[in-house]
Structure 1
Amino acid sequence: MPNSKLYKGSLTTIILKLLSEQEKMYGYEITQKVKELTKGELNITEGALYPSLHKLEANGLLEVEVVKVDNRLRKYYKLTNNGTKETVNKLEELQSYLKTMQSLIGKLA
């Protein structure tokens, strides 16, 4: 994606949406899933991902489960009940924004 700044405002929604589709995911898995779904167009860096995950956890939208995998600890993130509700809200907000932007772009073209 030429201007990755455009996705930064949607990162929370992206994370919540992915976690709503999976029971739980760890950080690297999230980055790879986004890369796969966007055919490499969108790359989420650790520097962007982990602060967002920590903020979502602090806000009670995610809970963390630490699991030992191959002699190392891995943090899995999953939605809380509030996280599930917030996912619906965030997706509705994003859809409304995209609809507004599409109508604006259509009028400019």
Structure 2
Amino acid sequence: MKPSNLYKGSLTTIILKLLNENDKMYGYEITQKVKQITKNELQLTEGALYPALHKLEAQGLLGVEVVKIGNRVRKYYRLTEVGTKVTVKKLAELESYIRNMRALVNPKFRDE
């Protein structure tokens, strides 16, 4: 299945959740983790990921640590204190959305 606009709307939450679970990650690592978790169904492109990371950094939700590895420079992203609070809120919103969509699409899954 190809990714759709539904995934694009969840990109921020996906990034925040992964960073919440993994302390710090660099961009390529995030793309690989998403591929692994979704069994290659969702593949983040650099064109989608890096603008989202930069936006989250500008909003004060992510901090960046630059590490030189040999001749390469790697930027690690981690949640700020504000980012951690926003992550909790976004995950709760997503869980509510999923629960409501499940009820609409298949009413037998509705919470009693």
TM-score normalised according to structure 2 size: 0.92
Q: Distance in 1 between matches of 2:3 and 2:48?
A: 15
Counterpart of 1:69? Answer: 69
Counterpart of 2:44? Answer: 44
Q: CA deviation at 1:23?
A: 1.5
Q: Distance in 2 between matches of 1:31 and 1:3?
A: 14
Tell me the amino acid that sits aligned with residue 59 of structure 2.
N
DSSP-derived class of the 2:106 partner: helix
Q: Distance in 2 between matches of 1:20 and 1:2?
A: 26
Q: Distance in 2 between matches of 1:24 and 1:37?
A: 17
* 1:36-92 CA-partner distances (Å, limit 9, x unpaired): 000000000001000100010000000000000121111000000000000000000
Q: Distance in 2 between matches of 1:6 and 1:81?
A: 28
Unaligned runs of 5+ in 1: none
DSSP-derived class of the 2:88 partner: helix
Q: CA deviation at 1:31?
A: 0.1
Unaligned runs of 5+ in 2: 108-112
Q: How many residues align?
A: 107
Q: Distance in 2 between matches of 1:66 and 1:35?
A: 24
Q: Distance in 1 between matches of 2:3 and 2:31?
A: 18
Q: CA deviation at 1:4?
A: 2.6
Tell me the amino acid that sits aligned with residue 65 of structure 1.
E
RMSD, aligned α-carbons: 0.9
